[in-house]
């Protein structure tokens, strides 16, 4: 039988078969995905083959094969620098929820996520949430960020889960697709999913410390069918996002505004750092490229992982509302 993985808890996997029936499956032995050292062999969004096995009175569903993934999104495993965790696979659109404050979403975090989406061939859309809470300063900041990212080709949406603003535009962007919501704890992912389909009644509670600490960070994602012909993968909050296994000479290609002008650099292997006659640095000087984007590029290029691991929830304000 063939089905789609809707939930993964690390040992059991909820699979929806092609006939619409859900099965609780396990895996037998170890799956080794070529080229990926992952803490989780099976991820939400995977298409899998499974079989029913009967042992005495017990009936088990066992996953026997994982179909090739068209894409996946990953992050570094905490304290396991050589391993990664696959958050989800076979995603059509990644919606990155951004909040100006409560909690703040940094441009460094946004850029790392967008770079990874570009590298793995996933369409990304920025969703500025909680617009009903904006004061004039927050509104100015949001408009500035929207300017930065829209001019390099990213779609930006503005929503308010509590007041229903922008929900219809968001639904339109999700129709017929497998979408994933992600962002820091507290940006309102579950509340937004509830606004899209209230019948789901996803819990909106604080992310406990065990979800963010320890060797094997718990990041259980889950897929839901929505009644407007869409699927959504809801993910727990991610405190930081580490770019994984990216060659330095490829990194600039995942910044669309760098890629567009790199052929104007004098050297075809230009890293846009110290080389002379660099089109990217010239564009930076002319304010045609945002300094925040270039700063993120340099941080990633130099392997500066401190920023993305910074704990911005030290005050305990990490409710996902």
Annotated binding site for Zn(2+): 265, 270, 272, 278
Question: Count of CB atoms within 10 A of residue 151's CB?
Answer: 11
| DSSP H or E stretch at residue 291 | helix 291-301
Least Cα distance to 189 among 215, 156, 222, 212 occurs for 222
Cα separation, 197 vs 226, in Å, equals 7
Cα separation, 290 vs 273, in Å, equals 15
Contact 189, 235 (CB under 8 A): yes
Instruction: Return binding residues.
Output: 129-132, 183-191, 265, 270, 272, 278
Contact 2, 48 (CB under 8 A): yes
Least Cα distance to 84 among 52, 41, 23 occurs for 41
Coil, helix or strand for 305?
Answer: coil
Cα separation, 273 vs 265, in Å, equals 12
Instruction: Return binding residues for GTP.
Output: 129-132, 183-191
């Amino acid at each position: 039988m063939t089905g789609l993985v809707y939930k993964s808890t690390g040992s059991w996997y909820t699979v929806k078969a092609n006939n619409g029936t859900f099965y609780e499956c396990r895996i037998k032995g170890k799956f080794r995905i070529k080229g990926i050292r992952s803490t989780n062999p099976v991820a939400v969004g995977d298409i899998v083959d499974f079989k029913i096995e009967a042992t005495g009175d017990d009936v088990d569903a066992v996953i026997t094969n994982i179909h090739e993934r068209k894409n996946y999104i990953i992050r570094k495993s905490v304290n396991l620098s050589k391993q990664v965790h696959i958050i989800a696979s076979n995603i059509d659109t990644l919606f990155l929820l951004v909040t100006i404050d409560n909690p703040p979403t940094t441009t460094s975090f946004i850029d790392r996520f967008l770079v990874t989406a570009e590298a793995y061939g996933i369409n990304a859309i920025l969703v500025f949430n909680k617009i009903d809470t904006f004061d004039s300063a927050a509104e100015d900041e949001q408009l500035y960020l929207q300017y930065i990212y829209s001019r390099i080709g990213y779609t930006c949406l503005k929503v308010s889960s509590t007041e229903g603003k922008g929900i219809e535009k968001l639904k339109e962007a999700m129709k017929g697709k497998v979408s994933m919501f992600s962002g820091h704890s507290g940006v309102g992912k579950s509340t937004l999913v509830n606004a899209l389909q209230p019948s789901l009644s996803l819990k909106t509670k604080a992310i406990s410390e065990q979800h963010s600490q320890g060797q094997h960070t718990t990041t259980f994602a889950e897929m839901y069918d929505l009644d407007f012909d869409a699927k959504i993968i809801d993910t727990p909050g991610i405190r930081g996002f580490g770019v994984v296994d990216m060659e330095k000479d490829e990194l600039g290609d995942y910044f669309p505004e760098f890629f567009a002008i790199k052929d104007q650099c004098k050297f075809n292997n230009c890293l846009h750092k110290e080389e002379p006659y660099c089109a990217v640095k010239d564009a930076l000087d002319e304010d045609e490229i945002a300094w925040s984007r270039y700063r993120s590029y340099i941080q990633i290029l130099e392997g500066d992982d401190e920023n993305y691991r910074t704990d911005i929830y030290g005050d305990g304000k990490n409710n996902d509302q």
